[in-house]
Amino acid sequence: PSPTPLQSPDINNETTNWKEYKVESLGLTFKAPFEMNVDTSGSIITIQDYPFNAPPPDNYYKAVISVSNGLVEKTETLKGKKDLTDQIVSTFQWQN
């Protein structure tokens, strides 16, 4: 059986209009706010609100999520709201 994320009705409503990303190599789909920049290289998903290859501004959001074998191994919010990282992870859908 595939793991399914825990979701509350509030989180589902907040993420309805987010952009969906599919990561075929990980068998994973997830959502993130449209204003975020998302990189899905290998088993690491990086999500940030400033351009990649640019220095971060004073106030920024960046999360790094490591995925392996259908599980989230580690999440790290480098700066910004940890609850936003949790909301993004809660949208993960594993493909069968």
Predicted local distance difference test score (pLDDT) of residue 9: 46
26 vs 2: CA distance, rounded Å: 13
At 33-51, the pLDDT tens digits run 999 999 998 999 999 999 9
Following CA atoms 75, 77, 82, 85 in sequence, which dihedral angle do they give, to the nearest 10 degrees? -60
Least confident of 3-7, 31-35, 57-61, 72-76: 3-7
CA dist 76 → 80, 93, 95 (Å)? 10, 20, 24
- Pairing mode, strands 71-79 and 28-32: unpaired
Average pLDDT, the chain: 87
pTM over 0.75: yes
Residue 96 pLDDT exceeds 80: no
The confidence score (pLDDT) of residue 86 equals 94
Looking at per-residue pLDDT, the higher value among 50 and 7 belongs to 50
- What pairing do the DSSP bridges indicate for beta strands 93-94 and 28-32? antiparallel
What CA–CA distances, in Å, run from 86 to 32, 41, 53, 54, 77? Answer: 11, 20, 25, 25, 10
